Chains A and B, each alone.
Chain A
Amino acid sequence: MRYIPTTPEERRRMLEVIGVRSVEDLFADVPQSVRLGRPLRLRPVLSDPEVLRYLGGLAERNAHADRLACFVGAGAYDHFVPPAVWQLAGRGEFLTAYTPYQAEVMQGELQATYEYQTMVCELLGMEVANASMYDGASALGEAAVMARDLTGRDRVVVSQAVHPEYRQVLRTYTEPLGIQVVERRHEGGITPADPRAVDTRTAAVVVQHPNFFGCLEDVRGWAEVAHRVGALLVVACSDPLAFGLLEPPGALGADIVAAEGQPLGNPLNFGGPYLGIIATRNKFVRRMPGRLVGATVDRYGRRGFVLTLQTREQHIRREKATSNICTNEALNALAAAVYLSLLGPQGVRQVAELCLRKAHYLKAQVAQLEGVGVLFAAPTFHEFVVRTPRPAAALVRAVAREGFLAGLPLGRFYRGMQNALLVCVTETRTRDEIDRFVEALARASRRGRAAVGGRR
C-alpha cells in the first residue's frame, strides 16, 4: 500500500474550499484539555538501510522456523513451499485479486479458483468445495451452522480432540445462533465412536482427523453413529496433506469437511491470512457458505467461468443467506492450486510419506529415551504427543537454546497435561536434525530429573 501525503499547496486549496483558514482552525472544537500541546516526539528519521536493519533486528528476536529446526505443528505446518509457487501466485495479475468483484471479467482468476476447488475435492474425496474461507477454524464454525440449517436441529457434538482453538471459534460462531455445543471427551488420545453421544436433536458430530494429538480417529464409525440418527458428520482437518496417504474423509462418510489450507503452499506466519477449506456433497451445495466458481459455456459455446449460486449469498439473500461471508482468500487459494498442480497426486503422496516416515522415526527414538515416552498408543500421522519428565514448557525453553522449536506444551489447553508436548515432523526435517533433537530432548530431560532429585 502506498502512502502519499498531501502537499502544502493541496492542503491550502482544500482548506480554501471548505472555508477554513488553517488546519488548527479545523480542530478548534477539540478541547484543549485533551490535546497534546506539543509536537509528537518521534525518533529521528532513519535512512532506508537503517530502517531495514532495525526491523530485521526486531524480526530476529522471534524464534522462527528459518533459524530453528521446527518440530511444532498443532495447526500450522512447516512444509516446503517450492519457490515456483509464489513466483506464479505473486504475479501482478493475481496479486491484486482479493475476492473477484468484477468476477466475470477476471476469467484467469476464476479458472484458477475453479481448479483449486477441483483439486481440493480430489484430495478430500468430496463432491464440491467453495472458493475458500478465512481459515480452518472459521470454516469449522461455518460447517456447524450449515449442519444446523440442513437438519433443522440445534445441537453439535464435538470431540475434545478437535483443535482447542477451532473449538473456541466454533463456539463464537454457534452460541449467538442458539446452537448448543456438547464436548465429547477423548480416551487415550482418540474419540471412540459411541451411539450414546447422539440423539434426534443432534445436527452434527465433529471430529478432527488426524486429530489435534496427531491420532487417527474412527471416522467411519462416527459417520455410522451420526447418520443413524439423521445427523451429519463434520470432519475437521488441520493438514490436508495427510490425505496423500490416508483414506480421504469423503470415502469415510464425511458430509462436510472443514480444513486448514495453509499447509498447501502457504508459508507459516502469525496472524494470517491462512486458508479455510470447506467441502461437502452436491446435495448440500445450496447450504454451503461463501463463494463458488462454476464452469459454463458462453453464447458461442466457448468454455467460461462464473461465480455461481450467488443467490445463497448475503448480497442477494440478505439476512436469510447461508453465511455472512461474501469473500474468500483468493490469493492463498491460488497458491494452494499452484502447489497442488506442481506436486501432482504422486508428489502429494510422497510428501505425506516423508512426513509419516520421519515422524515415526522420531517417535521410535523418543520411545527409547529414559523418562520420556509416547503418551498415546493410537496410530498417528505426522504428529504425536510426547510424555515429558518435567513440565513441557520448561523443556521447550531448554531446547530452544540448542536451536529447536520443540513443539506445543499441552498444559495450556488440557488440564493435567503439563507434562505433555505435541510434536510434529514434516518432510523439511532432516535425519540429522531429528537425531540432534532427540539428543537435546534427552539432555533437557536429564537436567530436569537431576534438578528434581537435587531438591529432595
Chain B
Amino acid sequence: MYPEEYRYSREHEWAKREDGRARVGITRFAADRLTDVVYVELPPVGAEVRFMQPFGVVESVKAASELYAPVSGRVVEVNERLQDHPELVNQDPHGEGWMIVVEMSDPAELERLMDAQAYRQHVGEA
C-alpha cells in the first residue's frame, strides 16, 4: 500500500527521491479521507517551497486542506494533468496523482520524514 522507497510526512504527503529532486504527492490515506478531490491548487514552476510549510491546497467535495512541502527547494515540475483530472489524486495517489517535483536544497530533510513502516503506524494501518 505505501511504497517502501518513499518518505512520509505527518501531514500525509509523500516524497520520492529522484537524484537531487523529490517528487511530491499526498498519501492514499489522505486521498481516501478527503473523498473525491475536485481541485488542486499548486505553485508555479520556479516557486520556492519550504520544509513543512504550505505550498498549495487540495479541495474535495468535503473539505479544503493545505498541502505541506515535505522538502525545501525550488519547484521544477508541476503536474498539469491535475488541472483537468483532479480525480487522479484519488485513483492513483502514489503515482499518476503526484503534484510537484522539487529541486531539493537540503536532501537531509528526507531523514526527518517517516519511512513506510513508521507511516503505517502513524495512520493506524500497521
> Looking at the complex, which of B12-20, B58-66, B74-82, B105-113 is the stretch in contact with chain A?
B58-66
CB distance from A281 to the nearest CB of B (A): 16
Q: How large is the interface on B (under 10, 10 to 19, 20 to 34, 35 or more residues)?
A: under 10
| Minimum CB distance partner of A308 in chain B | B38
A contact residues around B64 at 8 Å (CB): 311-312, 316-317, 320
Q: Is A286 an interface residue (CB 8 A)?
A: yes
Question: Number of A residues contacting the other chain (C-beta, 8 Å)?
Answer: 6
| B interface majority secondary structure | strand
Q: Is B29 an interface residue (CB 8 A)?
A: no
Alpha-carbon distance between A286 and B57 when the two chains are bound, in angstroms: 11
Q: Is B41 an interface residue (CB 8 A)?
A: yes
| A interface majority secondary structure | helix
User: Binary interface profile of B, 31-75, with partner A (CB < 8 Å = 1, else 0)?
Assistant: 000000011010000000000000001011001101000000000
- Interface hub of B38, B57, B64 (most chain A Cβ within 10 A): B64
B contact residues around A317 at 8 Å (CB): 64
The reply to whether A311 and B66 contact each other, CB–CB distance below 8 Å, is no
The reply to whether B63 and A311 contact each other, CB–CB distance below 8 Å, is yes
CB distance from B16 to the nearest CB of A (A): 27
CB distance from B108 to the nearest CB of A (A): 29
B contact residues around A316 at 8 Å (CB): 63-64
CB distance from B20 to the nearest CB of A (A): 27
The reply to whether A286 and B63 contact each other, CB–CB distance below 8 Å, is no
Given contacts A286-B39, A286-B41, contact A320 B57 (CB under 8 A): yes
The reply to whether A320 and B66 contact each other, CB–CB distance below 8 Å, is yes
A contact residues around B38 at 8 Å (CB): 311
User: Binary interface profile of A, 303-324, with partner B (CB < 8 Å = 1, else 0)?
Assistant: 0000000011000110010000
- Interface hub of B41, B57, B59, B66 (most chain A Cβ within 10 A): B59
B contact residues around A286 at 8 Å (CB): 39, 41
Alpha-carbon distance between A320 and B64 when the two chains are bound, in angstroms: 9
A contact residues around B59 at 8 Å (CB): 311
| Minimum CB distance partner of B60 in chain A | A311
Alpha-carbon distance between A312 and B57 when the two chains are bound, in angstroms: 11
CB distance from B34 to the nearest CB of A (A): 11
CB distance from A99 to the nearest CB of B (A): 20
Alpha-carbon distance between A286 and B63 when the two chains are bound, in angstroms: 14
| Minimum CB distance partner of B61 in chain A | A311
Within 8 A of B (CB), among A259-315: 286, 311-312
10 pairs across A/B with beta carbons < 8 Å?
A286-B39, A286-B41, A311-B38, A311-B39, A311-B60, A311-B63, A311-B64, A312-B64, A316-B63, A317-B64
A-contacting residues of B (Cβ < 8 Å)?
A: 38-39, 41, 57, 59-60, 63-64, 66
Report, nearest first, the 10 A-B pairs whose CB atoms are least far apart: A311-B64, A311-B59, A317-B64, A316-B64, A316-B63, A286-B39, A286-B41, A311-B63, A320-B64, A320-B66
